[in-house]
Amino acid sequence: MLDYEVSPAEAAALLRESKARLIDVREPWEFETAHIEGSLLMPISEVPARANQELDPDERLVVLCHMGVRSMSVTVWLRNQGFEQAQSLHGGIDSWSAEIDPAVPRY
């Protein structure tokens, strides 16, 4: 079974190889401020209503938020719903900006 968290470097490699889908669980204003290209905005409050309609339980999912707290909560919930390949991006978009892509604004 996969770890509950994935490092920014691991996530970047998965995304480069099209082996994962990025799910952004922040609020729309946060997404407008800074986001990773290709990510799906699904605010945390909408996840229970949208997950089973829009996400594939067999797909590798990388869930992100600002610092990694909300994304871990969503990852645990998704795993409990049968999305066994869901992982939280360690450190959130803040770590992504610091380690992978400094063009993504920090806030």
- Which residues have C-beta within 8 Å of that of residue 100, sequence separation ≥ 6? 8, 9, 12
**Residue range 5-99 in CATH 3.40.50.300:** no
**Which residues of the chain fall below pLDDT 70?**
none
Q: Which token pair is 64?
A: 């992100």
101 tagged catalytic: no
> Which residue is catalytic, options 6, 11, 61, 65?
65
Name the CA dihedral angle for 46, 50, 55, 57, rounded to a multiple of 10 degrees: 100
Q: Hey, where are the domains in the chain?
A: 5-99
- Quote the CA–CA distance of 49 and 86 in Å, as a whole number: 17
